[in-house]
Amino acid sequence: MPKETHTYSNDEITIVWQPKLCIHSAVCALGLPQVFQPRERPWIKIDQATTEQIKAQVEKCPSGALSWIPNHPEE
């Protein structure tokens, strides 16, 4: 995992954000504004949507700055 990486976890998944890749397109903030709040710290409120909603939004990130990994890959 690259050095400058931020992670945000719920019980099921971890969102990985790589700020150097972020092009600030706001696709995430417009698509799921209750979770992706660029003016807040931490800016990702992972508890504000379901895991499925978050996964779907993360996969729409145009730059690859956002990705997600399962917390329990063996399940």
CA–CA separation, 62 and 10 (whole Å):
23
Residue number, 22 or 55, with CB nearest to ligand SF4: 22
CB 5 within 8 A of CB 17: yes
Q: Is 32 left (phi over 0), alpha (psi -120 to 50) or beta?
A: beta
Instruction: Mark the segment that binds ligand SF4 (CB under 6 A) among 2-10, 23-31, 47-55, 67-75.
Output: 23-31
Instruction: Identify which of residues 26 and 47 has a Cβ nearer to ligand SF4 in the complex.
Output: 26
**Applying CB under 6 A, which of residues 13, 15, 16, 28 lies at the interface with ligand SF4?**
28
Helix (H, G, I), strand (E, B) or coil at 35: coil
71 lies in the site for ligand SF4, by CB under 6 A:
no
